[in-house]
Amino acid sequence: MTLAQLLADMPVLSVKGPMPENITGITKDSREVKEGFIFFATEASKPYVQEAVRKGAAVIVSDTELSGDFPRLVLTREPRYVLARMAAKFFGYPSREMHVTGITGTNGKTTTSYLIESILRAANQKVGVMGTISYRYDGHVVKGRTTTPESTEIQRLFSEMQRAGVRSVVMEVSSHALDQGRVEAIDFDGAIFTNLTHDHLDYHHDIEQYKEAKKRLFHEYLAKSSKEGRYAILNKDDPSSRDFFCEPPIANFTYSVRDNAADAFAVSVREDISGLTLVISLVGKEMSIRSPLIALFNVANILAAAMLGHAAGIPHDLIRKGLEALRGVPGRLERVENGRSIPIFVDYAHTPDALRKTLETLKRLCTGRLIVLFGCGGDRDKTKRPVMGRIASDLADFTIITSDNPRREDPLTIIEEIRQGFVGDAYCIIENRREAIGEAVRMATANDVLLVAGKGHEDYQIIGTEALHFSDREVIEEWLHVAA
């Protein structure tokens, strides 16, 4: 594809230099540049422009004049917008040929995406998924570096999925991705809003900015999609959902754990430590479901997925088959089996709301002590640390405060900020996460429930700028073997 073809209909201010005939790729990551690439000099990537040129970049796109010798320089006021739209054009607008659902919200995105994937597979569809845990399709699995990848990677993955015969794509859409325009030029069929609670305020500054970013999926990207039959699926139990309703021709569907005026709602729910038994009403038809997922918040995720199945035209018997087929989600109240018959769970809960809901669930189901181990990430929202400490103090019988991903912060400083939220002395501090998990495993006895929270599916721990291999699940299993 030529540069002239790629620049057509783009908001470009000027082009300096001859127009190359053949563009071989597009990126803003200098590590990916090859001969004939277009390199986008965003705020973060500008320091690497010369490296990109040395590696063969044929064109540089920037929002400002750059000093240096460049083969061609394209100026635009909106480099991220142009990056996303150009990537979609370069790969042939693949989202137009598949059914694409975006899921946004603070919590529940990953589990809902797994449930939808299971429903679509039950309907014998090839499915692609992009999310926190992985990007996967047709047997190909790549570990997710971010919840929502950069626009160029999204479009490349869409193109690969389309060529592999994928009919439906489910993607988690983070607030960062929405704010940065990574999902620009995706033609969405549907969007799901799960909930809105305290998270990422280090980036968005306040909850209103955070909500405004989330709303863009519905009021901007879904609204301007070229698809027919678009729909929004909204959690009626969250007060913010009223701000996410869309204008016609987009259809709005609601789901609720407790409001029987919603399009999908829970008629009855019974939970125990082995899973959920529930009856749901889906647009007026009742459906009985037995799921190995535990926790009432997973009822909401089940309802959202079921509503998506209905909106996508999947028969109810296949929706139920798909919901029941999902045995679990990595790092989401993931059970660690053991010979001591102690319920041990690994969970990604790293926000106040997620930690509260997870602890409330396990407290209801626990006949002995509820023991929780957690920390908070460094270089991230500091305001939630004492809040999460108070939640653990209120709900757990005993807490071990430890290190999470400290990054460039002092782990003991993070731990102290968590400790400030505690009332009473039913806690201990063990900075080393491996040793902390060992102590938790040693102290848990029959009837106790142990929750190791914060990292979930992650198989690394970031200390300084280095990512070291570390899996909560693996470490638990190692200590269980020692204790056996």
- Quick check: 94 pLDDT over 60? yes
340 and 466 in a common domain: yes
Any idea which residue has 């054009």 for tokens?
A: 89
- Identify the sign of the CA torsion 367, 373, 379, 385: positive
158 and 307 in a common domain: yes
Kindly give, in sequence order, each residue whose CB lies less than 8 Å from that of residue 249, ignoring residues fewer than 6 positions away.
Answer: 230
User: How many domains does one find in the chain?
Assistant: 3
pLDDT-based confidence at 71, cuts 50/70/90?
Answer: confident
> Which CATH number characterizes residue 56's domain?
3.40.1390.10
What would the pLDDT profile of 120-171 be if each residue is shown by its tens digit? 999 999 999 999 999 999 999 998 889 999 999 999 999 999 999 999 999 9
Q: What was the pLDDT predicted at 169?
A: 98
pLDDT-based confidence at 204, cuts 50/70/90?
Answer: very low
Per mean pLDDT, which range of 193-202, 342-351, 404-413 is the poorest? 193-202
What would the pLDDT profile of 334-362 be if each residue is shown by its tens digit? 999 998 889 999 999 998 988 999 999 99
Q: What is the rounded average pLDDT for all residues in the chain?
A: 94
Going by the DSSP 8-state scheme, the letter that residue 371 receives in this structure is E
* Alpha helices, H only, 267-396: 297-311, 316-325, 352-365, 384-395
pLDDT-based confidence at 45, cuts 50/70/90?
Answer: very high
Instruction: Name the E strands within 59-215.
Output: 59-62, 73-75, 99-104, 127-130, 134-137, 140-143, 168-172, 190-193
The answer to whether position 194 is within a domain reads yes
356 and 279 in a common domain: no
Tokens of 140: 């190909």
Report the percent of the chain where pLDDT is more than 70. 98
Contact between 429 and 416 under an 8 Å Cβ cutoff? The reply is no
The answer to whether position 8 is within a domain reads yes
- Quick check: 420 pLDDT over 80? yes
In terms of residue numbers, what domain contains 47? 3-77
Mean pLDDT along residues 242-252: 97
142 and 184 in a common domain: yes
Contact between 111 and 51 under an 8 Å Cβ cutoff? The reply is no
111 and 160 in a common domain: yes
- Per the DSSP assignment, residues forming a β-bridge with 462 are 467
Q: What was the pLDDT predicted at 316?
A: 97
Cα 82 from chain centroid (whole Å): 25
- Identify the sign of the CA torsion 113, 118, 119, 124: positive
Q: What was the pLDDT predicted at 353?
A: 87
171 and 302 in a common domain: yes
What would the pLDDT profile of 267-294 be if each residue is shown by its tens digit? 999 999 889 999 999 999 999 999 999 9
- Identify the sign of the CA torsion 331, 255, 118, 219: negative
409 and 282 in a common domain: no
